[in-house]
Amino acid sequence: MSLTRNVAIIAHVDHGKTTLVDEILKQASVFRENEETVDCVLDSNDQERERGITILSKIISVNYGGCKMNIIDTPGHADFGGQVERVLKKADCVLLLVDASEGPMPQTRFVLNKAIQLNLQPIVVINKVDKNDARCDEVLDEVHDLFFELGATEEQVFCPVFYGSGRDGWFAESPDGSQENIIPLLDCIVNDIKPPAQVEGPVQLQITTIDYSSYVGRIGIGRVYRGTLNKNKPVMTITADGKEERTQIKQLFVFDGLGRREVEEVECGDICAIVGLSNCDIGVTICDAEEPEALPPLDLDKPTLSMLFRVNDSPLFGQEGELVTSRQVADRLTKEIEKDVALEVEDVNGEAFRVSGRGILHLSILIESMRREGYELSVSQPQVITREIDGVKHEPIENLSVEVPEESAGKVIEIVGARRGEMKTMETRSGRTMLNFSIPTRGIIGLRSRLLTATQGEAIIGHSFEAYEPMKGEFPHRRNGVLISMTQGQSTAFAIDALQQRGTFFVDPNVEVYEGMVVGENSREGDMMVNVLKAKQLTNVRSSGTDKAIKVTPASVKSLEEYLEYVGADELVECTPKTIRLRKKLLREVERKRGSKI
């Protein structure tokens, strides 16, 4: 009997996956008693800590009850659903975390559907039962309904259920059970979950995740499905298109605690990391060199959004970043696709690159990483990737859920409906309304900020990819025009104060602007040229009361994601290490007018 258990933790974003991993690490005694630890240990990336989300799937290993548990922490955001889908191939069991108040959300449905298709053994964990609005029994009924909808087997539906609080470090078989520790949950994994099947024969392993090191290159991570993988025996790699290559493994690692430990061989059912393969890509089968046999290829979800990355050619280029040429941008994007297989990069004309990903968050994390590394670049408006199916143009459709106060439901329905969203269900409980829509991915772009503004920040929004459907009708990207600077220099408080009734400004006084730079949003339709450099003309008259007190409203500061959602078709987002600006593609007004006539 195998002493290994491969457990993936799956849930909607912010339902407590990484916090649960923290507690497993603590209560399985991975840390020394005097060792200092931080919250969300596995969210080690700077952006993961700042955003409070998991971006990269990670694996740790703990020993409990004489059993080795490989725990896989997965991202909860829809933009990283492709990672979840692949890493589930390594698991035997899934811990399905569900918030005791929110219940199943769109990403819950997506990841559970993938787990059921792979016939994995589930354990339902209803988390955050200490919330004032927790509704444990109703949420469990909703989870069971979801199991039935997705075609789960009877064994999967009637799986073990635990209640508790990952933050407080306890889980029990009932909401009012012992609140001491998570030992009942760990015992269930060891005693009730079937171990990996021990399949004898020539070795077979499939790479489902790629790690990258600047020292050794690509590192393939996968699970041994058959036989024993030995470092000293030659192996055969087989790609998805059937290309075979005989090779030798240089290093072989298994997961141990928070790190990896080098070994000579890995038994069937365990997860390992392999260094030294020239053919190291997602879906590649590693098998016995004398008896090669490929595993079924993995289906990777295609990107749904694309953007053009190009060099920064604004008048302020090169003042903040050191890496500004197209060659340097191309090298950085090439390095990124080595690590992120959900990303696609296409050279357009040597000066621009079409980068395709799973959503705005997916692409914005790449842009933010490049900014922090000293790159300067300009990016275009995100474009939805369409498909031609049976001669008809199709576009990606998302499943959108919005939870708002009851009195704000009408506003949400109006906003989503204007973006071709179709309401599927509406449910009200405890003064809050849960709305479920089917909406084109085009409609998701810029929707979050609109809904948060309309509901005074009360909306809880989630979405996940559903399917491709025939193109819906057109709808406006944004209703108002923008305010464009007509000259270069430093903005003044006097000029901005005089123009405040014209719209909302994105810049404060004493900020460097240039001709063609977008400095604000017009209060009406159509773009407007403005002079934000105008200074007050001084005279010899010095009389108290003649000067009007200048009171400038603080600038509306947007994040990178908000700019990417706001940018128009004829505009670019200029990204530098210190500044994010919005600008027109054609900076001079005469060029824009000439272009509009063509």
129 is in an annotated binding site: yes
18 is in an annotated binding site: yes
Residue 17 counted as an annotated binding residue = yes
Per-residue confidence (pLDDT) for residue 37, from 0 to 100: 43
32 band by pLDDT with thresholds 50, 70 and 90: very low
Percent of the chain with pLDDT over 90: 19
Give the model confidence (pLDDT) of 119-172 as tens digits.
889 999 999 888 888 888 889 998 999 899 888 888 888 899 999 888 888 888
- Set out the domains of the chain in order of their start, with CATH numbers: 4-192 (3.40.50.300), 204-288 (2.40.30.10), 305-380 (3.30.70.870), 387-470 (3.30.70.240), 482-597 (2.40.50.250)
Confidence (pLDDT) at 295:
86
* 128 annotated ligand binder: yes
Distance from the Cα of residue 578 to its chain's centroid: 23
Gyration radius of the chain's alpha carbons = 27
In three state form, how does the secondary structure of 540-585 look? CCCCCCCCCCCCCCCCCCCCHHHHHHHCCCCEEEEECCCCEEEEEC
Q: Calculate mean pLDDT across residues 479-486.
A: 88
Q: Is 127 part of any known ligand binding site?
A: yes
pLDDT in tens, 389-422: 888 999 989 888 888 888 888 999 999 998 888 9
Identity of the amino acid at 596 = S
Confidence band for 53, pLDDT divided at 50, 70 and 90? low
The per-residue pLDDT of the chain, averaged, comes to 84
Is 564:570 a contact under the CB 8 Å cutoff? Answer: no
Q: Provide the pLDDT for residue 35.
A: 45
Stated as kind and residue range, the H or E segment containing 462 is: strand 460-470
301 pLDDT exceeds 80? no
pLDDT tens readout for residues 427-468: 887 778 889 899 998 888 888 888 888 888 888 887 878 888
pLDDT at residue 39 greater than cutoff 80: no
Given this model, what pLDDT does residue 540 score?
60
Confidence of residue 548 (pLDDT cuts 50, 70, 90): low
**Sheet hosting strand 121-127, strand order edge to edge:** 58-64, 67-73, 4-10, 93-99, 121-127, 161-165, 170-172
pTM: 0.79
Q: How many CB atoms lie within 10 A of CB 51?
A: 16
Q: What is the pLDDT of residue 353?
A: 93
The model's confidence at residue 580, banded by pLDDT at 50, 70 and 90, is very high
pLDDT (average), residues 233-247: 87
What confidence tier does 31 reach under pLDDT thresholds 50, 70, 90? very low
pLDDT for 573 equals 94
pLDDT of 529 = 92
CB 352 within 8 A of CB 310: yes
pLDDT at residue number 375: 92
Mean pLDDT along residues 51-77: 75
Q: Is the dihedral of CA 354, 360, 365, 367 positive or negative?
A: positive
On whether 453 is known to bind a ligand per the annotation, the reply is: no
Report the helix count and the strand count for the chain, using DSSP H and E. Answer: 15, 35
d(CA 168, CA 186) in angstroms, rounded, equals 16
pLDDT tens-digit profile of 326-378? 899 999 998 888 777 778 899 888 789 999 988 888 898 899 989 999 999 99
* DSSP, res 90: G
pLDDT the model gives residue 398: 87
